[in-house]
Amino acid sequence: MCLAIPARVIELLADEEALVELGGVRKRISLALVEGVAVDDYVIVHVGYALNRLDPAEAAKTLALFAEAGLIDGAASKAAP
Amino acid sequence: MKYVDEFRDGGLARGLAAAIARAAVSGRVYRFMEFCGGHTHAIARYGLEDLLPANVQLIHGPGCPVCVLPGGRLQMAIELAERPRLILASYGDMLRVPVAGDSLLKARARGADVRMVYAVDEALALARRHPEREVVFFAIGFETTTPPTAVAIRRARAEGLGNFSVFCNHVLTPAAIAAILAAPDAAVRLDGFIGPAHVSTVIGSRPYEACAAAHAKALVIAGFEPLDVLQAVLMLVRQVNSGRAEVENEFTRAVSRDGNLRAQQLVAEVFTPRAHFEWRGLGRLAHSALAIAPQWADFDAEVRFSLSERVLCDHKACECAAVLRGQRRPQDCKVFGTACTPENPLGSCMVSSEGACAAHYSYGRFRDRTTQGESA
Ligand code: SF4
């Protein structure tokens, strides 16, 4: 029940709710736990509630780290016997 | 899907796996426990163990809320559900968990009104629709499901929903990690943890710091996608190699050191720590769970229905307790895949897709390698 994927906010609704899109499916969720969410933000949704906002800059940094680990390795393994 | 597909890229996965293989010192065994069922699921689903060198081993932890709830608490829920005029609303997986030959599904077949809900708000809606009935939400889960329960209780009071209450079974992650580390053999069996993803979005990375330092174990908080898990393993291997035991955060796109303060504040307002709580596998742990605070007692089903504590033993063939402690693997259980399957679970770890046994049954059992685990 912990599995959840980031969802994009497509519309803010009354009562601290929002409409999000999750892999092509639209869903109504609660924003009661997060402040300052705007349309097009990505949020982590769990049991119908957004737990936090996703930080796009940090996501890009993490992806760059993945690529870097692979690259450093590629160079090193060529040098290795 | 954005923020999903990039974190599942096969090429990057191979690069990370190669980096892990080079970083892992041969002749040394690295043993990391993934605490969360979400990680267990990702590891099984993407076959991540096959990408790792033989001396880097992953051990399943207890972080599946359905798995750790002991039989006694489930028995209490079944007794509640069988009261006349009462509706018990529960997250779906709980319905199938077996207890002493019974389950909530069987109680429903006998006539109890048990409803499956995806969110606590659906339980609130039931209470609004059925003012003549008592509606009890069977609340389970770690720090991720607790804030929504707090919001629902506050809303019930604001709306004057006198027929809504919560049977609270919310548990705390840091206490469980501390319990695993306090086991006498933990020092030799474990080099570190892959730390919770969604739990950490709420509580932040700070609560793990004392524990990591006290037991000199590395902990890397990781997202639930396969590349997140591989990157966390790489970070753990590097920590072990350099003799560090720190809390690091791979899931920076959603986790900060302080976590979600608004959610924490709501939880602190509505809940209070229990002196102790029984966990399946881990036993009775001090300050490891929450109860509803006295000022919200009207919404506490344990108070309202004067529930008394039940303690039950697991099925005698069941190895769930040892699996949850990371001491046995699912395939070591005699009934795994025979008497115990996801269609017909004998133990709680076979119910939810995040349970170690269910994850291994669905994705891993055809790849069992006879050598796995023997290099220890
Ligand atoms: S196979 Fe079934 S009985 Fe055995 S440990 Fe797993 S869940 Fe428990």
Distance B75 CA to ligand 1 centre (A): 19
Is there a contact between B91 and A2 if contact means CB atoms under 8 Å apart? no
3-state SS class at B138: strand
Q: What is the per-residue pLDDT for B366?
A: 62
Atom 6 of ligand 1, nearest CA residue: B357
Region B71-98: what's the mean pLDDT? Answer: 95
B256-310 tens-digit pLDDT: 999 999 999 999 999 999 999 999 989 999 999 999 999 999 999 999 999 998 8
Of all residues in chain A, the one with the smallest CA distance to B7 is A63
What interface predicted TM-score (ipTM) does this complex get?
Answer: 0.87
Per-residue pLDDT band for B315 (boundaries 50, 70, 90) equals confident
CA–CA distances in Å: residue B158 to residues B152, B250, B269, B301, B338: 10, 39, 15, 18, 50
- In this prediction, residues B340-350 reach a mean pLDDT of 92
Q: How do strand B113-117 and strand B86-91 relate by DSSP bridges?
A: parallel
Average pLDDT, stretch A32-49?
94
| Topology agreement, domain B3-61+188-249 and domain B67-172+259-304 | yes
Q: How many helices (H) and strands (E) does chain A have?
A: 1, 5
Q: In the prediction, which pLDDT does B92 show?
A: 87
Q: Give the burial class of B370: count Cβ atoms within 10 A of its Cβ; 0-12 exposed, 13-18 middle, 19 or more buried.
A: exposed
B15 has a chain A CB within 8 A of its CB = yes
- DSSP E strands: which ranges in B67-150? 86-91, 113-117, 134-141
Show the domains of chain A with their CATH numbers.
Answer: 5-77 (2.30.30.140)
Tell me the one-letter amino acid at B214. A
- Measured in angstroms, how far is the CA atom of residue B287 from the centroid of ligand 1? 27
Per-domain boundaries in chain B = 3-61+188-249, 67-172+259-304, 320-324+331-375
Per-residue pLDDT of B96-154, as tens digits, reads 999 988 999 999 999 999 999 999 999 999 999 999 999 999 999 999 999 999 999 99
Given a cut of 90, is residue B313 above it in pLDDT? no
The phi and psi torsions of A41 (rounded to 5 degrees) equal -65, 155
Q: pTM for the complete prediction?
A: 0.91
* Cβ within 8 Å, pair A51-B120: no
| CA proximity to B169, closest of B73, B89, B250 | B73
pLDDT band for position B211 (50/70/90)? confident
Q: What's the pLDDT tens digit per position in B41-78?
A: 899 999 999 999 999 999 998 888 899 999 999 999 99
Q: Is the pLDDT of residue B166 over 50?
A: yes
Structure tokens at A63: 């992806």
Is B94 in the A-facing interface, judged by CB distances under 8 Å? no
Mean pLDDT of chain A: 85
Express as a percent the part of chain B with pLDDT over 70.
96
Is CATH 3.40.50.11740 the classification given to domain B67-172+259-304?
Answer: yes
pLDDT band at B367 (very low <50, low <70, confident <90, very high): low
DSSP letter string over B249-297? ES-TTT--SS--HHHHHHHHHHEEE-SEEEETTTEEEET-BEEE-GGGG
Burial of B185 (0-12, 13-18, 19+ CB in 10 A): exposed
- The band of A3, judged by pLDDT with boundaries at 50, 70 and 90, is low
Mean pLDDT score across all residues of chain B: 92
Q: Summarize the confidence of residues B89-93 as an average pLDDT.
A: 93
Residue B215 has pLDDT above 70, yes or no: yes
Categorize the per-residue pLDDT at B228 as very low, low, confident or very high, splitting at 50, 70 and 90.
very high
The pLDDT of residue B2 is: 86
The residues in B 22-81 lying below 8 A from A, measured between CB atoms, are 22, 36-38, 41, 63-66
Provide the pLDDT confidence category of residue B363 given band limits of 50, 70 and 90.
confident
In chain A, the largest separation of any two C-alpha atoms, in whole Å, equals 64
Q: What percent of chain B has pLDDT over 90?
A: 78
Distance B338 CA to ligand 1 centre (A): 10
Predicted confidence (pLDDT) at residue B369 exceeds the cutoff of 60? no
Which atom of ligand 1 is the closest one to the Cα of B350? 7
Write down the CATH superfamily of domain B3-61+188-249: HypD, alpha/beta domain 1 (3.40.50.11750)
Say which residue, B92 or B137, is predicted with more confidence.
B137
CB within 8 Å: A62 and B231: yes
Residue ranges of B 198-237 with Cβ closer than 8 A to chain A: 198, 201-202, 224, 227-228, 231, 234
* Token code pair at residue B270: 């509505």
Residue A55 — very low, low, confident or very high, per pLDDT cuts 50/70/90? very high
pLDDT of B185: 78
Interface with chain B: mutation pick from A47, A61, A63, A72, highest number of B CBs within 10 Å = A47
Give the model confidence (pLDDT) of A59-75 as tens digits: 999 999 998 887 765 44
pLDDT of residue B368: 58
* Choice among B50-64, B145-159, B209-223, B358-372 with the minimum mean pLDDT: B358-372
Q: Which atom belonging to ligand 1 lies closest to the Cα atom of B340?
A: 2
Percent pLDDT > 90 in chain A is 68
Task: Decide if B3 touches A, using CB distance below 8 A.
Answer: yes
